[in-house]
Structure 1
C-alpha cells in the first residue's frame, strides 16, 4: 500500500513541476481524446433511439433518414458488444425442459421505445404474434433463424371476404399474406417491420442457437391499445371461401390467421442483461 501511495505522490510532484505550457498542452490533448472516444455501441443505440423515437406514438413511422441512421447503428453491433457468447447457458437445452426455453434480456424500456435481446436454443420458437401500431428493428447477432412474417390483406376488392368464421364456437380467421418465409444467418442486414406492412406479424424459429436484438418503437402497451396477440396459421386451401379474388398461382402466398389464447408451446424466462450498461443523461 505504501508503494502505491509513494508512487502517486511522486507523480503528483512531477506533474506540478512541469512548465505551465506543458501542463496546458497535455490537459488539452487528454480532453480532446476524451471527446473523440466513442461510447459503447449499446449506448450509441440507446442515444439513437432517443432521437429517432422522440415523437413516437401508436402508428408512428420514423422518417427515412432516421430509419437509415438506426439501421446503421444496429448493423454495427456484435454479440461481444452486448456481452453474449454462443456457449452461454441461455443457448442450451436440458432433458427436463418440455419445450426449449427462450431467455429475454431486458436492456431498456420507456414509453417511447424498448430494447431487449431474445436468446434461443436450437429449435426454440417465438410463436406467431403481432406488433400493433409499432415499428420494429431486429438484428440477428449470431446463429441461423427461420423467419416467417405476414401482413394483413387490405387491398382486395370490396366484395372479396378477408375474414371467415369456421364455427360459432371458434374465433374468426383473418386473411394475411406471407411476406417472408426463409432462413437467415448472421451476419445479415437488420430487418424492419412497420405498423401496416413489412411483415408486422412474425414467427421466429431457431435453426441453431441464436440471439436477436429487438428495438420496438413504441413498445407494447395494453393501456394504449398495443396488445401482443398470438395466432394460429392455416393454409388458404384449408377453407373454401366463395367470392374471394386471388389468382390460383398466388394462393400459396396467403394464409388464414386465428387468435389463440393458450401458449403451451413456449417458455420465456426474463434475465438480467449483463452487458455494458446504459447511461441515461
Structure 2
C-alpha cells in the first residue's frame, strides 16, 4: 500500500539508529549529576528488527525506480510471510480499529516504524469500511503484508502494450471546467483477500502500481516502500478516479467486448478532502 508520509518530520527517525553524540566535555560534573537519567527505549521485537535488517540489505542502492534482484525480493518476501500480528503487537481490539460514528470515510491510523531516504516501514490500521483511495507509488517497489482481517484490493497498471489503433489517453470534453486527461489502465486485481495470505508486491510499472484498499472488517497492513514518497524528489502521491472502459467511447478499438472488463480509465484527482490518516509513532 503506502500513501504519503503522515508523521511530521519522521524522515530518518525510528528504531535501528544510534542517538546523536553529545559533547559531554562541555558539561560540568555538577550539571551531569543533576540530569535525570532516562530509561533507554524498549528494543524492537526480534521479528521487526529482522525486517529492518533485511530492508537495509534489499534497498541498499536506494535508487528511485530500481527493482531489487529476484533473490532479494524473495528474501524480504519470506520475512514478511512469516510475520504475524503478535510479532508487531497489533490486534483488532485496539482503539485504532474502532469505527468512527457518523463518518462517511473511516479514520485510518498509520503507525510509523522507520523511514530513511532508501525505505520506509509502517503499519496501516483500518477499521471496518475504512478506505485508502486509489493512489500510485511512483518509482517504488512496495511490499504489503495483511496481518489480519479481510480487505478488498483493486489495483491497476498503465497500459503500454496495445496496438497503435487503440488510444491510451483521452481528453474529456467539458464546457464548465478543465478536466485532466484519462489514461487507460489494465486491472491487476479486484478481489477480497483474507489473512493469512501471501504478501503482495508491486513494482514501478507492474504488479498493480495504482491500488485502492477497502477494509471488509478490521484490518492491519504492514507496509514497506523502497524508496518512500518524497515531494522534493518528485515522488508525489497521486490519487485517481477510475471509470469503466465503456465510460468513454473509443472509435475503432480492437479490444474484444469480452475483454473490456479488464480495462479502466483513470483520471488524476485531488486528495479526497474527507480522507483522514492519523500518524502515530510505533511503540513495541
| Counterpart-to-counterpart distance in 1, 2:111 and 2:65 | 26
- 1:212 deviates by 0.3
Partner of 1:41: 47
Q: Give 1:112-127 correspondences, 5 Å limit.
A: 112-127=118-133
Tell me the TM-score normalised to structure 1 length: 0.82
C-alpha spacing 1:245/1:222, structure 2 compared with 1 (3 Å): farther
Q: Secondary structure at the match of 1:44?
A: helix
Task: Compute the RMSD of aligned alpha carbons.
Answer: 1.4
Which among 56, 79, 84 is matched to residue 50 of structure 1? 56
Candidates 211, 225, 231, aligned match of 2:234: 225
For 2:18, the equivalent position in structure 1 comes to none
Inter-partner Cα distance in structure 1 for 2:98 and 2:152: 18
2 CA distance for matches of 1:108 and 1:219? 11
* TM-score when normalising by structure 2: 0.81
Q: Which residue of 1 aligns with 2:161?
A: 155
Specify the structure having the higher radius of gyration (Cα). Answer: 1
1:88 to 89, 94, 97: 94
Instruction: List structure 1 runs of 4+ shifted beyond 3 angstroms.
Output: none
Q: Does 1:252 align with 2:261?
A: yes
Partners of 1:264 and 1:228 in 2: CA distance: 15
Which structure's residues are more often helix, by fraction?
1
- Work out the number of aligned pairs and report it: 238
- Asked if the contact 1:156/1:245 (under 8 Å) is kept, the reply is no
Q: Which residue number corresponds to residue 247 of structure 2?
A: 238
Aligned to 1:24: none
Question: Which structure 2 residue ranges, 5 or more long, are not aligned?
Answer: 1-44
* Alpha-carbon shift at residue 225 of structure 1 (Å): 2.1
CA distance in 1, matches of 2:186, 2:248: 15
Indicate the SS of the match to 1:146.
strand
Secondary structure of 1:51's match?
A: helix
1:81 aligns to what SS in structure 2?
helix
| 1:212 aligns to 2:221 (yes or no) | yes
How far is 1:159 from its partner? 3.0
1:161–1:243 contact (8 Å) kept in structure 2? no
Question: Residues of 2 paired with 1:111 and 1:48: CA distance?
Answer: 16
Q: By how many angstroms is 1:96 displaced?
A: 4.5
Give the distance between the partners of 2:252 and 2:63, measured in 1 at CA. 37
1:18 counterpart residue number: none
Give 5+ residue unaligned stretches, structure 1.
1-38, 276-281
Aligned counterpart for 1:65 among listed residues 37, 61, 71: 71
- For 1:199 and 1:265, the matched residues in 2 are separated by 24
